[in-house]
């Protein structure tokens, strides 16, 4: 186990920024700390790095308790959001500065710099100063500076927020490739879920200082642990339908107004609901179909709803329907968008739905 | 990051400054204030005599001349620096060419010490060879400009010299403020056909309120401390007609050997400075509340 | 249309030229006087150009002008001032830079309090320090010595340098220091390898301000300067005001000009840094 966080708590003065964070990261994992602004993800990264001292809890790296250990002695390396390259030093000195501080000989240092610059393809840049580099080049130097120390964990703080969209795509695949090549543990902080879903082996979704869910991208997407995660993840926001659980028959039913659907095959967690419990059913737009053939199973809810509004986004369109006062969204081909007010038959695929307690938001 | 090792190093670095702040600045200030209540004469004496020094001070006509001089000088100096500085800043802002040259000309006096300034103006205002003489030889026989030697006007000569020295800084402050104002405001005003001088007067200058207040406060502090220029130009003369508190303190400390009274005068200087700061603080607090 | 602009620009330039004359007059008058022989100084107007140019006033001012003690010219005082200003400046800047580094990059509540006290303390009139300083210097046996003045100017230069460097270092990104910490750089290594190389601009501003402050000082020079080696402002004031017999105005003026030269030259050469520094600082308020 490369990293173990036990009940980490962190407060600044009276403000609690991190609460009860416990995570385990294996060797070679690519962990993404995902969340909106102010959720505490950068603070958590700084705590792992040792740049901030935790208020409570312990941190173990490769079995060693490093909670009170200096950053330089934790064998971790960090790539900062602004890259933080030393402006007055050449690229090659920027990369080897850490080794210089350790007292490594000049010969060894230049060997290391050569090795790293070859790996990252920045050999021609070695004599330049950071101000003479482009954004993408600077990022590579920053990565090189982290790589050269051969750390147990690579920490990356929103490394791509300063890049334009094209560069971002390129960097994403390069980082993935790098991770594959080195097979070391990466921990990356971001607010961008595409980055999270495309690069991570494990995702920790953070909000208000808590870990809302810790799991693989698949788990996060298909089995969100609570309403927050369900709402946060997904390019097209999940729809939430308010209703109740009826346990009168052998199979529990989800009831909304006059509609009801059996929940056969739904994998409940240990939070089994009680009768008449108000619940929220979450169903993604891509699981709402216009024809029965698209359904993957035979558990579905069929409704006839009027169109309330629609929005064209290129080839697709997002169409909203009025379901007993609530709006739900679905995606259609733009060419086949029905007009406002049209009653349309929809099939809601309950197999891929998620149930949440209406009060706590926890998954049922 | 501020672990115990670094805390120690940080503390070590700051030790000299701690000594400076607590002993050499605040310690000394409090000590002098304490001395103002003692019987100190040629040497510090720790025997307390209550407010006697202050009573003597307030009964001394010399002190009131010096103290009122400070306000006369202060009002004219501050007002003059602000008006002249603002005007010059506006003029410089309108320039397309030659700004650096004029800026250097207006600023260089600031690099000269107030002693040099005082001595230079003493030369110019010298009745027998200075301005008075020039104008007289040009024809106006009766022209009188011997302010340096006049009890009533000596203090105003100090204003000239100080203005000459201090305007440059104020001008730079205003110039920086003017240049920091958004270009868009200019464009908007021009489109509205507002004449240039009005733009400066009604739009730009009001926005420089903070600069103005900072300038007034800084100038105010300079006024209270004015020692060099007074000694160099008139040495408080004729007699004590152009004396100022800063010089008064020095004289009582070292020439009259009445440390206690000098200390009382020094405390009055500080009190005056606090009075100057109060409106500024009040303004700041009100601004934050809004 | 063109006429109007020319009229306005003419007005603008004439106002500026008149102001410029006001600002240039004193130095012109002094220079002119310093190159005139004594009889011409006494007989011609102060704005008249010299008819018999001579540099004798300058030579006399330098080596034989009389102060209240003896006639050694301004030279010994000129040199003494540098003996005091240079070490004090170096010390004050070095201490201020380290202070600024600690206060800006290693935030600690007590350091902020210290800075606040320093800031307010820098407004206290120097007159309040004179007596206790005299007592302290006497105790340390350095009253009236060069060392004493170096100590004084270092001490009272620290508030200024600390403010300059702290305000400058605050503008440097904290991530730089964090990266260096991750790299394993120690407290002082970070200062010397990362922070200091970024500081040339503020160093120049500091040198200009601190040197000018010390060189132009009068109060401490007068109070704590030994009469045979006092700093220049006290010396030149003394020379000009000592009237033994005939007052040699041209020599006195030359002495004043000599005294004015170092800071004036410093300003003319490096002034733009100073101005830039002021403009930045002023906008921040």
pLDDT (0 to 100) of residue B113: 92
Q: Do residues C155 and C22 share a domain?
A: no
Average pLDDT, chain B: 85
**Nearest CB partner across the interface for C198, out of A76, A88, A102:** A88
Would an 8 Å CB–CB cutoff place B4 in contact with chain A?
no
Q: Percent helix, strand, coil in chain A (nearest 5)? A: 30, 35, 35
pLDDT (0 to 100) of residue B143: 65
Q: Do residues C16 and C119 share a domain?
A: no
- Assigned domain for B259 exists: yes
In tens, the pLDDT along B136-150 reads 667 666 666 677 777
Tens-binned pLDDT, residue by residue, of chain C (285 aa): 455 567 777 888 888 899 999 999 889 988 988 888 888 877 777 777 888 888 888 888 888 887 777 788 888 899 999 999 999 999 999 999 999 999 999 888 888 999 999 988 988 999 999 999 999 999 999 998 899 999 999 999 999 999 999 999 999 999 999 999 999 998 999 999 999 999 998 999 899 999 999 999 999 999 998 888 889 999 999 888 876 667 788 888 899 999 999 999 999 988 877 777 666 554 443
| CATH label of the domain that carries residue B65 | 1.10.3720.10
Q: Do residues C113 and C203 share a domain?
A: yes
Of C107, C112, C169, C184, which to mutate for an interface test with A (greatest number of A Cβ within 10 Å)? C184
Q: State the smallest CA–CA distance between residue B129 and chain C in angstroms.
A: 6
- Assigned domain for B71 exists: yes
Q: Do residues C243 and C113 share a domain?
A: yes
The first and second tokens of residue A270, run together, are 């240990």
Q: How far apart are the first and last CA of chain A?
A: 31
pLDDT (0 to 100) of residue B1: 57
- Assigned domain for C62 exists: no
Q: What is the predicted ipTM?
A: 0.88
Residue C198 CA to residue A87 CA, distance in Å, equals 8
Asked whether the predicted pLDDT for residue A242 surpasses 60, the reply is yes
Asked whether the predicted pLDDT for residue B128 surpasses 80, the reply is no
In tens, the pLDDT along B250-276 reads 999 999 889 999 999 999 999 988 888
Average pLDDT, chain A: 88
Which is more confidently placed, B182 or C98? Answer: C98
Looking at the DSSP bridge assignments, the partners of residue A157 are A189
Considering only CB atoms, which chain C residues are within 8 Å of B180?
A: 283
Q: How many domains does chain B have?
A: 1
Question: How many Å is the Cα radius of gyration of chain A?
Answer: 25
Mean pLDDT throughout A77-91? 93
**Nearest CB partner across the interface for C282, out of B106, B211, B225:** B211
What domains are defined for chain A?
3-231 (3.40.50.300), 239-357 (2.40.50.140)
pLDDT (0 to 100) of residue C154: 96
pLDDT (0 to 100) of residue C284: 44
Chain A residues contacting B via beta carbons under 8 Å:
51-53, 70-71
Q: How far apart are the first and last CA of chain B?
A: 37
pLDDT (0 to 100) of residue C181: 92
Domain of B163 in residue numbering reads as 54-289
- Give yes or no for a contact between C128 and B32, defined as CB atoms under 8 angstroms apart: yes
Would an 8 Å CB–CB cutoff place C216 in contact with chain B?
yes
The count of CB pairs under 8 A between chains B and C is: 248
- Assigned domain for B133 exists: yes
- Assigned domain for B158 exists: yes
pLDDT (0 to 100) of residue B5: 77
Q: How many domains does chain C have?
A: 2
pLDDT (0 to 100) of residue C244: 65
- Assigned domain for C69 exists: no
pLDDT (0 to 100) of residue B136: 67
pLDDT (0 to 100) of residue B198: 78
- Give yes or no for a contact between A141 and A94, defined as CB atoms under 8 angstroms apart: yes
Chain A residues contacting C via beta carbons under 8 Å:
49, 51, 70-73, 76-78, 80-82, 84-89, 97-98, 101-102, 145, 149
- Give yes or no for a contact between A273 and A310, defined as CB atoms under 8 angstroms apart: no
Asked whether the predicted pLDDT for residue A333 surpasses 80, the reply is no
For a pLDDT cut of 70, what percent of chain A falls above it? Answer: 100
Please state, in angstroms and as integers, the Cα–Cα distance from residue C274 to each residue in A117, B110, B227, C94, C267, following that order.
41, 11, 25, 19, 8
Q: State the smallest CA–CA distance between residue B1 and chain A in angstroms.
A: 5
Domain of C17 in residue numbering reads as 2-54
Contact A76 C179 (CB under 8 A): no
Q: Do residues C37 and C113 share a domain?
A: no
Q: Phi/psi at B125 (nearest 5 deg)?
A: -90, 5
Q: Do residues C12 and C50 share a domain?
A: yes
In tens, the pLDDT along B43-89 reads 888 888 888 889 999 999 999 999 999 999 999 999 999 999 988 98
Q: Do residues C150 and C193 share a domain?
A: yes
């Amino acid at each position: 186990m490369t990293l173990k966080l036990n009940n980490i708590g962190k407060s600044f003065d009276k403000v609690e920024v991190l609460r009860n964070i416990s995570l385990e990261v294996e060797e070679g994992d690519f962990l993404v700390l995902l969340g909106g602004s102010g959720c505490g993800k950068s603070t958590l990264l700084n705590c792992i790095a040792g740049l901030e001292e935790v208020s409570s809890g312990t941190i173990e790296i490769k079995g060693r308790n490093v909670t009170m250990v200096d950053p330089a002695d934790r064998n971790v390396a960090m790539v900062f959001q602004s890259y933080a390259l030393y402006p007055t030093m050449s690229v090659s000195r920027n990369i080897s500065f850490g080794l210089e501080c350790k007292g490594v000989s000049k010969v060894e240092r230049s060997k290391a710099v050569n090795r790293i610059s070859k790996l990252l393809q920045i050999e021609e840049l070695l004599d330049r100063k950071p101000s003479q580099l482009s954004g993408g080049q600077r990022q590579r130097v920053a990565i090189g500076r982290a790589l050269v120390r051969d750390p147990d964990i690579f920490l990356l703080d929103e490394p791509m927020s300063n890049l334009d969209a094209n560069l971002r795509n390129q960097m994403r695949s390069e980082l993935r490739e790098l991770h594959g090549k080195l097979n070391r543990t990466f921990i990356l902080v971001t607010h961008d879920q595409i980055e999270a879903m495309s690069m991570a082996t494990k995702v920790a979704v953070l909000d208000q200082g808590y870990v809302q869910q810790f799991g693989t991208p698949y788990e996060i997407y298909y089995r969100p642990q609570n309403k927050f995660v369900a709402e946060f993840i997904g390019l097209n926001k999940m729809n939430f339908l308010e209703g109740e659980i009826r346990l009168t028959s052998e199979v529990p039913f989800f009831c909304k107004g006059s509609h009801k659907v059996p929940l056969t095959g739904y994998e409940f967690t240990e939070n089994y609901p009680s009768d008449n419990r108000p619940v929220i059913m979450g169903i993604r737009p891509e699981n709402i179909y216009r024809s029965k053939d698209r359904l993957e199973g035979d558990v579905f809810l069929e409704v006839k709803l009027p169109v309330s509004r629609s929005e064209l986004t290129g080839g697709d369109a997002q169409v909203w329907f009025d379901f007993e006062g609530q709006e739900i969204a679905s995606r259609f081909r733009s060419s086949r968008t029905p007009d406002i007010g049209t009653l349309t038959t929809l099939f809601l695929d309950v197999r891929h739905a998620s149930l949440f307690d209406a009060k706590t938001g926890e998954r049922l | 990051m501020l672990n115990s090792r670094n805390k120690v190093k940080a503390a070590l670095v700051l030790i000299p400054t701690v000594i400076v702040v607590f002993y050499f600045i605040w310690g000394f200030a409090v000590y002098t204030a304490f001395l103002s209540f003692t019987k100190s004469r040629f040497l510090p004496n720790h025997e307390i005599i209550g407010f006697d020094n202050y009573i003597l001070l307030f009964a001394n006509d010399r002190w009131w001349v010096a103290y009122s001089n400070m306000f006369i000088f202060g009002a004219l100096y501050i007002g003059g620096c602000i008006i002249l500085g603002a005007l010059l800043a506006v003029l410089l802002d309108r320039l397309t060419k030659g700004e650096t040259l004029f800026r250097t000309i207006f600023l260089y006096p600031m690099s000269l010490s107030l002693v040099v300034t005082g001595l230079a103006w003493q030369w110019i205002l010298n009745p027998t060879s200075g301005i008075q003489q020039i104008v007289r030889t040009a024809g106006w026989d009766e022209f009188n400009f011997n302010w340096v030697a006049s009890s009533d006007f000596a203090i105003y000569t100090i204003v000239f010299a100080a203005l000459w020295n201090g305007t440059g800084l104020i001008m730079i402050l205003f110039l920086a403020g003017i240049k920091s104002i958004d270009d868009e405001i200019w464009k908007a005003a021009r489109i509205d056909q507002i004449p240039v001088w009005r733009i400066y007067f009604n739009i730009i200058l009001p926005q420089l309120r903070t600069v103005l207040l900072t300038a007034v406060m800084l100038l105010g502090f300079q006024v209270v401390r004015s020692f060099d220029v007074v000694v160099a130009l008139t040495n408080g003369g004729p007699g004590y007609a152009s004396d100022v508190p800063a010089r008064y303190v020095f004289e009582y400390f070292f020439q009259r050997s009445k440390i206690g009274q000098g200390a009382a005068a020094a405390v009055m200087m500080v009190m005056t400075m606090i009075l100057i700061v109060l409106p500024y603080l009040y303004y700041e607090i009100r601004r934050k509340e809004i | 249309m063109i006429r109007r602009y020319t009229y306005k620009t003419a007005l603008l330039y004439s106002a500026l030229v008149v102001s410029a004359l006001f600002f240039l007059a004193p130095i012109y008058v002094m220079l002119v006087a310093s190159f005139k022989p004594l009889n011409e100084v006494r007989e011609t107007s102060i704005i008249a150009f010299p008819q018999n140019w001579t540099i004798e006033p300058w030579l006399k001012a330098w080596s034989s002008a009389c102060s209240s003690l003896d006639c050694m010219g301004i030279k010994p005082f000129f040199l003494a001032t540098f003996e005091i200003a240079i070490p004090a400046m170096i010390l004050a800047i070095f201490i201020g830079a380290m202070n600024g580094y600690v206060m800006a990059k290693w935030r600690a509540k007590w350091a902020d309090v210290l800075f606040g006290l320093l800031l307010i303390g820098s407004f206290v009139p120097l007159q309040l320090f004179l007596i206790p300083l005299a007592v302290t210097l006497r105790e340390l046996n350095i009253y009236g010595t060069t060392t004493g003045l170096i100590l004084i100017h270092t001490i009272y230069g620290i508030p200024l340098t600390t403010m300059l460097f702290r305000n400058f270092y605050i503008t440097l990104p904290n991530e730089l220091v964090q990266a260096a910490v991750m790299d394993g750089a120690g407290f002082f290594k970070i200062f010397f390898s990362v922070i200091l190389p970024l500081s040339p601009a503020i160093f120049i501003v500091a040198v200009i301000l601190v040197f000018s402050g010390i060189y132009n000082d009068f109060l401490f020079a007068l109070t704590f300067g030994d009469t045979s080696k006092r700093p220049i402002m006290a010396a030149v004031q003394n020379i000009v005001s000592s009237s033994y017999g005939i007052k040699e105005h041209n020599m006195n003026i030359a002495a004043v000009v000599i005294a004015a030269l170092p800071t004036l030259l410093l300003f003319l050469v490096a002034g733009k840094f100073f101005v830039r520094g002021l403009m930045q600082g002023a906008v921040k308020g």
